[in-house]
Chain A
Amino acid sequence: MAAVPEVGTAPSGAGPAGGVPAPVDLRPPSWWKRKGYTRRDTVAAFIFLAPSLIHFMIFILGLVVASLVISTWQWDLLTPPHEVGLHNYATMFFHDPLFWTSLKATLYFVLLTIPTGIILSLALAMAVNTKLRGIVIFRTAYFIPVVSSMVAVAVVWRWVFNNDFGILNWFLGLFGVHKIDWLGNPVTAMPAIALMSVWKGLGFTMTLFLAGLQGIPQHLYEAAELDGAGRWKQFVHVTWPLLTPTTFFVSVISIIGSFNVFDAVYLMTQGGPGNSTTVYNFYLFNQAFRYFHMGYAAAMAWILFLIIAALSFLQFRFLNRRVQYELG
């Protein structure tokens, strides 16, 4: 949607007037020069940028570099660290089955939440994308979970999933389904957490889709209707293609969010029963703050970063091509 800056447009009236023509710099000048800024301006800009730049250097870049260094240490915070090279990474891959268990659990969580989240939030966005009076109330209602505290939400959902008194089992009981111990059974615990997470995040992705939907010009639907397209055809040929930038964005941020799942597990199951809900970040947290293996936890964090970076790269590489940013 955003217009691409016109990189490469040659400057007009290049070269000084008269005499031997000076060698022409064929490189396009940066937008900074084109706008006529001077060195003085550059200095001023950096002075204004300094607070956030310094903050970024110390609190983000500095810590990122520090964590890379720490990941080559064996360090419990209490005794001096030992340099162990890539030992932490080797242990993770070859000697720690729980690392793989937690990675699998996380992938399972991602698979459970991403498609359901996207489909449901798109459906919801389309449902609330009407001009009915009072529709704002519905939109707000769906957004409330997003801004609610995870702690409060988790307490409520623990009751929803309660075996004896839970509303979910009561509801299923109406259809003759036997009681399910949602959070106490290794088979159902992860789907239960996924369900809650989808519910919690639905309002946010719905809002993104809603913005996308409202950006689609009405006349396209009118044209499609004139061509005899029904509602389904309109969705397939107008809505879906024009929503691709939104869908792409939603899928990228949802995958990152899902890989980072922690609080729901911490609050609802503590990784159990067994290790069925021990997701990556929960295990990482335990390594760092329960077992005080700071080096190992830092190494785990880097692996997670690489996984997410690789996935995002793949998404940009393959999905981005199919994204239709402008009306074509």
Chain B
Amino acid sequence: MIRRSRAVRLSVAVLAMGLIGAACSGSSGGSKTSSTGTITVAEPSDNPGDIQARKQLADQFMKLHPDISVKILVIPAEGYDQKVLTLIAGGKPPDLFVSGDVQIPNMVSKNYAYNLDTFAKKGNFDLSKLYPQIIQGLTFNGNLAGLTDNWDTQVMYYNKSMFQQAGVSPPTASWTWQDFQSAAQQLTQGSGTQKQYGAVFDPWFAPLYSTIWSYGGNITSADGKTCEINQPPAIQAIDFILNLYKQGLSPSPQAMSQQGQGAEQIFLSGRAAMMIGSGRWAAYDLQSVKRFQWAMAPLPKGPAGRANFFHLSMFAIAHNSQHPQAAWQFLKYMLSKNGIETTIGNAQGLPSIPSLVKDPAFANSALVKQHDTVKPMLQSLPTVHRAPNIVAFNEFQDKLDAVMDGVWSGKQDPKTALDAFCKSVGPLLQNGSAAGA
């Protein structure tokens, strides 16, 4: 095993060489826009079901388009974005690549993916076939950064069996955070290793932001330039979550780390009656649970109504792709009825095209038939919120995570900690970089 630091130095060397190569060949890149050839599609490795479905999709596509061959490039999920970016920067881009919602502002401002709006207009592809929320969610500064065949959002899960045993009425779409809290109080029982928690709340950014939005707060201003996570509504939301830990209604992040178990594992092992932290993807792990009955519900409402983080894992075309037209062809096929029918059984989310929700390929899949995982999602669709418009999202989030570690452990007062945080990220939000680099 090469020592990591050496590996870093090595990769810098390789990168530098790649850049020299890219600089030399830079001018010729744009001219080859043929719609034939081999296209590479980069995907993270963390969802084998997705990859399997995509390979099947590629096979079907190649039968219809014998002049285009599709190669699926599976990249380890750990550090996936970094690897794709270095491939693009190094001049050997995947033609199509999966990217996440939080990267959209960065993609558009650094201009490393095509604006798909122009492709759609030229190719007579009707974007209004898709849910309007999806097109809005994937657009930043008038640029359509990517397209997706499915969508997902934050929801809550509950242990039906526990609710029945305790005689507590199960969550509905009209629940507020107060209803959630009082149910959690009724469902918390026992102590020590036998303790049953009323809820488990995983405070990573998607559920945290959802709660803040539902209290009427914001992470940043709409242009992403001013930090607003220290404003009163946001602090109220954080206090609400913090109280769940203080009152012992949910295991705290420290307790979860001490036990080496995430929220999903705690819920899976039947030690918490409700879970907040995941989108529809958790349903895949929960499918196999036999010991109890579970169901999904929309997130509870806050003083400003419901808000749920919009998970959009989309496909984008690299700006320096050699075959953007062929990549577009494949993307279009992915979004066709045939394409969606092929992949949707394995997809984590719901189909992007409304009419296909009733399509047998989706409606007959196990998750839809055995557990009602569609209705709560559709109830949540009107209140989806895209990730904040922060260009330097990774850096912002790393800094926030470090601060929130202190807040959740009770060592730091939320208001004081976040005031200091907002002050420290001022330059980052203004210039897209705290380090000025």
Give residues in A with beta carbon < 8 Å to B: 59, 63, 66-67, 74-79, 84, 87-88, 91-92, 95-98, 149-151, 162-165, 179, 181, 183-184, 186, 260, 262-263, 266, 271-275, 278, 281, 285-297, 299
Contact = CB atoms under 8 A, between A and B. Distances in A.
A1 B260 CA distance: 52
B34 interface: no
Contact of B392 (A272, A281, A291): A291
A269 to B, nearest CB: 11
Contacts of A162: 260
A278 to B, nearest CB: 8
B254 interface: yes
A26 B259 CA distance: 77
Given A79-B111, A163-B258, A271-B402, 10 more contacts: A66-B16, A78-B85, A78-B110, A95-B427, A97-B424, A149-B1, A179-B258, A186-B405, A274-B405, A290-B398
Contacts of B85: 77-78, 292
26 contacts: A63-B12, A75-B437, A77-B85, A78-B88, A78-B89, A79-B110, A87-B436, A95-B434, A150-B1, A150-B3, A150-B4, A165-B260, A181-B257, A181-B258, A260-B5, A272-B405, A274-B403, A274-B406, A275-B402, A278-B402, A290-B394, A290-B395, A290-B398, A291-B433, A293-B433, A296-B436
A274 B15 CA distance: 31
Chain A to chain B: the 8 pairs with minimum beta-carbon distance, closest first: A296-B437, A293-B437, A77-B89, A263-B4, A149-B1, A163-B258, A184-B257, A296-B435
Interface of B: 1, 3-5, 8, 12-13, 15-16, 19, 79, 82, 85-86, 88-89, 110-112, 254, 257-260, 392, 394-395, 398-399, 401-403, 405-406, 409, 424, 427, 433-437
B435 A88 contact: yes
B1 A151 contact: yes
B5 A281 contact: yes
B398 A286 contact: yes
Contacts, number: 117
A293 B436 CA distance: 8
A210 B83 CA distance: 43
Q: Which of B258, B260, B395, B435 has the most CB of A within 10 A?
A: B435
A61 to B, nearest CB: 12
A253 to B, nearest CB: 14
Contacts of A291: 392, 394-395, 433, 435
A95 to B, nearest CB: 7
A291 B391 CA distance: 10
A93 to B, nearest CB: 12
B437 A297 contact: yes
Contacts of A272: 401-402, 405
Contacts of A150: 1, 3-4
Contacts of A274: 402-403, 405-406
Nearest to A151: B1
B323 to A, nearest CB: 20
B42 to A, nearest CB: 16
Q: Which of A149, A186, A266, A293 has the most CB of B within 10 A?
A: A293
B5 A263 contact: yes
Given A63-B12, A78-B89, A150-B1, A294 B437 contact: yes
Q: Which of A179, A273, A290 has the most CB of B within 10 A?
A: A273
